[in-house]
Amino acid sequence: MFGFLNVYKPQGKTSHDVVAILRRVTKVKQIGHTGTLDPFAEGVLPICIGKATRLIEYLKDDKAYIGTVQLGKSTTTYDIEGEGVNVSDKKVTLDEIEQALSCFRGNIEQLPPIYSAIKVNGKKLYEYARKGEDVKIEPRKVNISELKILNYNEDNRQLELFISCSKGTYIRSIANDLGEKLGTYGHLIKLARVKAGNFVLANSVKLEDLETIEQVEKNLISPLEYLDYPKYELTDLEFEKVSHGMPIKNNKIGQEGVVILLRNQKLVGVGDKVNGIIKCSKVFI
């Protein structure tokens, strides 16, 4: 079995839960996902099955989310699962929120939540947090390409946002930092990922529709659909060379960089073109 799945991860399941379920269904051990979603979150979870796991590095990694922020309270985890830390009765207007959001657009530096899986000195941050140990958290550079208000209920102080961002962006941190910027605190109470690279919510498949091997096979996506690189059909001689890991000369593809190698319109390898020479980095024969 070889290909991608666009799975809709439900609330209450971890990303690892989804992988474990699919391993039981397919009997395939080589299964991975391209981006962790917290248990309370839902939405698009790209899955790679079989040798398609070797293609993860070639997939687009931008993300898009719809998140709901509860203003007036901050938590230890920056989301609904944490313990309360600070509270405020202050109410803010839509104009004040829009003005504050301007600080979160474009290239920014973001501090990850202490309750996250990022490693510092070989330990995950949440391991330090659970033991009450101090650890220095370094800010990370992320890009927020789009950030807009979808809805704001001023009475209950709930704010719904659409966020399009780079890999590694913590929406929980945006909720917490926005609350601090507004002087009213905040935490994330709902999160749905609506896009991960080329995987979009409208085309996702629910877990309950992937309970048999036949259902999984029916929903498998050919990697060629989501690999946005130049594609090249190999000649007989070139195919023979690629099969043995040998480089090939090529002047038919103008640009240099990653090239998807095909044989009879089927994926056989991924190469890197430099100075007219394609060297294979992955072979699928």
- 38 as an active site residue: the answer is yes
Find the Cα–Cα–Cα–Cα dihedral 171, 177, 182, 184, rounded to 10°: 90
Phi, psi of 161 (to 5 degrees): -125, 150
* Closest residue by Cα to residue 157 from 73, 86, 101: 73
Q: What angle do CA 100, 104, 108 make, to 5 degrees?
A: 145
Sign of the alpha-carbon torsion through 170, 175, 176, 182: positive
DSSP result, 216-271: HHHH-B-GGGT--S-EEEPPHHHHHHHHTT--EE--SS-S-EEEEEEETTEEEEEE
Selecting among 38, 61, 95, 228, the annotated active-site residue is 38
Phi, psi of 49 (to 5 degrees): -120, 135
* Closest residue by Cα to residue 43 from 231, 205, 193: 193
Residue type present at position 86? N
Distance CA 106, CA 103 (A): 8
Phi, psi of 33 (to 5 degrees): -120, 165
Distance CA 177, CA 183 (A): 10
Provide the annotated active-site residues: 38
